[in-house]
């Protein structure tokens, strides 16, 4: 690949995770994944990244002439700078691929969790799998993916691919609604990059409230249906 660029910035989503290391290898470029800020070029080329599930930062110095940066979603807010860069469509000729796709299996219905911009998640506070209808209803209304805490997946109330956190999927959606989840550090490690966090919990002392942008001290069994109703009314008023 040769487009003349010295620095290539890729979103670290599912596609970016697959593509960026390959592009870096083919260009013999230094690759930094998990970047959370644009490079500091005041003294070399330093990129700040998330390490240890977001518990620490690392400043990575890149010394190669070509560089590929994988930027975590929602780490930088868009800003108007008055630049005049042009957006160009890029249609690479990939030739004959070295990989043959023999079969594609979809994960199921609905929005895929790792790519979702909106996520409705619930934990042990929901008491049992029979109560997940209200989580799914709100997710359907919003066009969101569903997620859960680890014990919920371990007990078998929800599938393991919905488990978010340090040992599950790490997500950074625009909106993360967490109902009946205490906010243990291992859970937060996978969701604290979310742009806006809404927490619903009966316990006003639940640790999750410290990480929340909006907190509702209340019973998820009452709040989730009301939230769903309010969202449906709002959406209907927009049509």
Ligand X SMILES: Cc1cc2nc3c(=O)[nH]c(=O)nc-3n(C[C@H](O)[C@H](O)[C@H](O)COP(=O)(O)OP(=O)(O)OC[C@H]3O[C@@H](n4cnc5c(N)ncnc54)[C@H](O)[C@@H]3O)c2cc1C
Nearer to ligand X, 2 or 204 (CB): 204
Q: How many residues bind ligand X (CB under 6 A)?
A: 27
* Binders in 143-162 for ligand X, by CB under 6 A: 149-152
Separation CA 60–CA 163 (nearest Å): 30
Nearer to ligand X, 123 or 193 (CB): 123
CB of 125 to ligand X, least distance (A): 3
230 phi, psi to nearest 5 deg: -65, -40
Which of 30, 54, 168, 193 forms a contact with ligand X (CB under 6 A)? Answer: 168
Binding of ligand X at residue 184 (CB under 6 A)?
yes
CB of 154 to ligand X, least distance (A): 9
Binding of ligand X at residue 52 (CB under 6 A)?
no
Binding of ligand X at residue 209 (CB under 6 A)?
no
CB of 127 to ligand X, least distance (A): 7
CB of 145 to ligand X, least distance (A): 16
* Binders in 115-144 for ligand X, by CB under 6 A: 123-125
CB of 170 to ligand X, least distance (A): 9
**Contacts within 8 Å (CB) and 24+ apart, 51-55:** 53/166, 53/170, 53/189, 53/190, 54/170, 54/189, 54/192, 54/193, 55/189
Dihedral (Cα; 92, 95, 100, 104), 10-degree rounding: 30
Report the interface residues with ligand X, using CB under 6 A.
123-125, 149-152, 165-168, 179-182, 184, 186-187, 190, 200-203, 206, 219-221
């Amino acid at each position: 690949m040769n487009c003349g660029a010295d620095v290539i910035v890729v979103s670290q989503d599912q596609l970016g995770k697959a593509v960026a290391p390959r592009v870096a290898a083919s260009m013999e470029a230094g690759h930094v994944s998990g970047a959370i800020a644009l490079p500091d070029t005041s003294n070399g080329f330093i990129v700040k990244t998330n390490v240890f599930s977001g518990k620490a930062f690392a400043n990575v110095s890149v010394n190669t002439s070509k560089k590929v940066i994988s930027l975590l979603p929602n780490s930088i807010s868009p800003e108007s700078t008055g630049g005049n860069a042009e957006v160009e469509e890029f249609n690479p000729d990939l030739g004959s691929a070295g990989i043959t796709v023999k079969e594609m299996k979809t994960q199921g219905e609905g929005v895929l969790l790792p790519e979702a911009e909106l996520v409705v998640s619930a934990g042990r506070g929901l008491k049992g799998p029979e109560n997940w209808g209200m989580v799914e209803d709100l997710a359907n209304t919003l066009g969101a993916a569903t997620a859960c805490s680890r014990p919920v997946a371990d007990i078998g109330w929800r599938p393991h691919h919905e488990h978010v956190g340090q040992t599950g999927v790490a997500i950074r959606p625009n909106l993360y609604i967490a109902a009946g989840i205490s906010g243990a550090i291992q859970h937060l490690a996978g969701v604290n990059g979310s742009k806006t966090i809404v927490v619903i919990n009966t316990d006003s002392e639940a640790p999750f409230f410290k990480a929340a942008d909006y907190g509702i001290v209340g019973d998820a069994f009452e709040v989730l249906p009301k939230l769903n109703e309010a969202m449906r009314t709002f959406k209907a008023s927009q049509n």
